[in-house]
Structure 1
Amino acid sequence: MFGDLRRFDVGQPQGLDWFRQWMDEVFPETAAADIRSVPRGSYPMINVGRTDDAVRVYVFAAGLTAEQLEVSIQDNVLTVSGKREAPDVGAEGQAARTDFRRERYQGEFSRSLALPDGLDVDRTEAHFRDGICEVRLPKREELKPRRIEVQAKNAS
């Protein structure tokens, strides 16, 4: 009888997904992708990796320029901040259109990340290309892995 009221066949969440989805809707400011992540919708998204030489932080900031990002380090905390302007803003600051749904982040943002010990923060480099800012934090020389040569000793 009421089958016509549902126009789209939307699959039902499986397992406990329905509960997570419900919690995200009830408490959107605390919704997190996993136990160690920041709330969903945090901007910009960040990847962190480590090599033998450095720690690398990748900041995904599509639509921004290098001038719109500020990267700073203080007390072993890396902070990336800036401002993302709203698209289609008129001369008086009024939006040129009415949005019914907006998922793209706009406004001021700031993300902070605690850094591990042993980095040479004075040699930090940041490069921006194609909407990705790569921050390279080299390790101090004394903390880099070293190969020790094993010498054969002649038997006497």
Structure 2
Amino acid sequence: MTQPHVAAYMHFGGFDSFERLDFDRREIRKGFNKVGRLVQKEARKLTGKAKRTANDGYPARKTGRLNKSIKPKVSKSGFMVRIMPDKSADMKEYYPAYLHYGVRNGAQRTRGHRRQTDRGRGWRIEPRKNFMEDALQKSNDRIVAILQDAFARSLNQ
């Protein structure tokens, strides 16, 4: 099953004349690590409530597995961070995908992994809102400030 993902791209003006080697990577890694923890905290906040209203759309917490599986990982180069729920050992299937796409009653998985047709039985698990994308959007202003500060500190070294 494919994993839902959100891609974001940011470009900071004013740093175009520098090469990659001109940066102190430790400072940049620290900045991306901080951003990863910020988005992780926001995503866990969105999925951490035990009871949800029907119109909220985010997954509710029952066991806490989804919350614990949301982890940031900074790339080796230090210029990218990936925050997503990973499949842990206590998950039989990668159920964040089921929460994102939903599951129909009596549905058969198609070869192309498309959304299944209804067949009149309704949803077994309704698709939930994308909590990772919303966490990223809510934290956007702070992310830009943190990364600009990290890039500025990396040039001062």
TM-score range, shorter chain: under 0.3
Q: Which has the higher contact order (CA 8 A, sep 6+)?
A: 2
* Larger Rg belongs to: 1
TM-score normalised to structure 1 length: 0.26
